[in-house]
Amino acid sequence: MRITSKAFKSRAREKVLDLSARQRYRGATQHSVEARNRVVQDVLNWEELRETARILKAQSIEQLADLLQQLEEHASANGIHVHWAETDQEACNHVIEIARRQHASLIVKSKSMVSEEIFLSHALEKEGIETVETDLGEFIVQLAGELPFHITTPAIHKSREDIGKLFANKLGVPYTSEPTELTKIAREVLREKFLKAQIGISGGNFAIAETGQIVIVENEGNARLTITLPRIHIAILGIEKVIPRLEDLSTFLAILARSATGQRITSYVSLIRGPKQQGEIDGPDEVHLILLDNGRSDILADRKMREVLYCIRCGACLNVCPVYQVVGGHTYGSVYPGPIGSAFTPLMASLEEAKDLPYASSLCGRCAEICPVKIDVHHLLLWLRRKAVEERLSNLFERLIVQLWCMIMKNLQLYRIASKFARVLQAFLPKRDSVLPVPIWSKSRDFPRLAPKTFRELWREVED
């Protein structure tokens, strides 16, 4: 996974100053949260539903190896070709191999985070194969040459005017900023591509071990077209997407649509059983399922972090995150932005490369509160901070300050002397400054003045 999270701080510093962008992000995320809250309200036992979903995911992960084998067996029996990929490169190679065999020149893609993760479009372009994103948001982002801004609504950072200009520029259509018109333009451009493409590539929200089905959840119908019209369909799924039974799906559908878009169910849920059956008029001749590891199996070794693999990619934690709302999706420098991305990215890349991400959180816990599968996101971030310190990824100055602070806090005498000292010192500063100029710290945070009297002193006065 190519990530540029090292620049998180500098990018965030810039973003914080862009007030109009902040307003847009805030509006969009709030809109999503309100829609989600409305539909969650009419489930009286929502907490029970979350708990059920969490346990189902936990159980799936605990028996992952067995479920993957079951999935492979049943999918193969249905006529699906199952491939395994240890790394992003291997997954891309599988796709390229299939594409070469078919002499494919045009590939349509429906929205898939995993394909972003492995930079598939890039790999295919190097092969000289045109690859077109067909989800409206992804299409916009692809035209602009950017990464998705959000897991479920990738182009939410762009205004309708931005998109109008982009379409006029890149597609040579007359300028319009009307969402209905823009959507129509995209429909026409992409319909052509659908009809011509030799291969359709999709992700998948779930794979059912018991039946060998691949499940795709969407609203636009582009995934349905992707898996129906081209002669070959390739689905790429992270290994954590497997669930045991078909009956478990109703729980996940209920919880995913509500959390992601505030719908009770999405417009379309496709359950792919296999290639075109005898007598059928349409559907692909070949269906390939690529099961991607790319670091996921290593995450399992950390019992605490393991639960990041429960994530169903609804994007709800992004919408409620006070940090995401200010800095937006691109600042994280990862395909997976927001709180869950900050927990996932350091594990996928390395903690060193993404060491700022666990700190991109106020630890307020709204992410954990809204997570439909109850991932304890902010505690996982805290855990990663701890690991970062243990691996000595923090800078020397910070380590010294913290050590000094620990020393003082552990010793009552020392604490009293130090606080007295600080109080005396602050008296020399101009009275109008309500915060203290502590180096580095107060560049982006307040360090409030110490109160003139300590609590103990006040207490004594009251007693007297």
Partner 1 sequence: MAAEARANILNRVRRNLAVGVFRAGTKPASFEMQRTADRPNLQKPPIEVFEEELTLVGGTFQRVSSQEQLCDALRKVCDRGGYQNIAVSQEPLIEELQVAENLQRFLTGARVSKLNSLDPMDELRSADAGVTACEFLIAETGTIVLRSSPLVPRSLSLLPHAHIVIATEEQLFPTLVSCVPKLQHRLVQSPASSCTTLVTGPSRTADIEKVLVRGVHGPRELHVFVLVKSEEPR
Note whether 369 binds partner 1 by CB under 8 A: no
| Contact call for residue 318 and partner 1 (CB under 8 A) | no
Q: Is residue 293 part of the contact set for partner 1 (CB under 8 A)?
A: yes
Residues 84-113 that bind partner 1 (CB under 8 A): 84-86, 90
Closer residue to partner 1 in complex, CB, 180/434: 180
CB neighbours of 460 closer than 8 A, spacing ≥ 6?
none
Question: How many of the chain's residues bind partner 1 (CB under 8 A)?
Answer: 102
Long-range contacts of 300-305 (CB under 8 A, 24+ apart): 300/61, 300/64, 302/347, 304/380, 304/383, 305/343, 305/347, 305/380, 305/383, 305/384
Residues ≥6 apart with Cβ < 8 Å to 86: 293, 294
Query: How far, in Å, CA of 207 to CA of 418, rounded?
Result: 59
The 188-227 contact track toward partner 1, x by CB under 8 A, reads --xx--xx---------------x-x-----xxxx-xx-x
Q: How far is the CB of 240 from partner 1 (least distance, A)?
A: 10
For the segment 58-87, give every residue that binds partner 1 (CB under 8 A).
Answer: 58-59, 61-62, 64-65, 68-69, 83-86
Q: Is 317 in the site for partner 1 (CB under 8 A)?
A: no
Q: What are the φ and ψ backbone dihedral angles of 16, each rounded to 5 degrees?
A: -60, -30
How far is it, in rounded angstroms, from Cα 82 to Cα 141?
30
Scanning 14-22, 179-187, 315-323, 416-424 for contacts with partner 1 by CB under 8 A, the matching segment is 179-187
Strands 213-218 and 268-272: antiparallel
List phi, psi (to 5°) of 463. Answer: -65, -40
Least distance CB 26 / partner 1 (angstroms): 12
Closest contact distance (angstroms) between CB of 313 and partner 1 is 16
Q: Which of 159, 169, 411, 419 binds partner 1 (CB under 8 A)?
A: 159
Between 22 and 41, how does the x/- string for binding to partner 1 read (CB under 8 A)?
------x--xx--------x
> Binding string, 244-283, against partner 1, x = CB under 8 A?
--xx-xxx-xx------x--xxxxxxxxxxxxxxxxxxxx
CB of 68 to partner 1, least distance (A): 7
Q: For 39, phi and psi rounded to 5 degrees?
A: -85, -20
The pairing of strands 199-202 and 106-109 is: parallel
Q: Give the nearest distance from C-beta 109 to partner 1 in angstroms.
A: 13
Select 298 or 398, whichever has its Cβ closest to partner 1: 298
Q: Give the contacts of 125 (CB within 8 A, at least 6 positions apart).
A: 131
Report the alpha-carbon distance of residue 294 to residue 85 in Å, rounded.
8
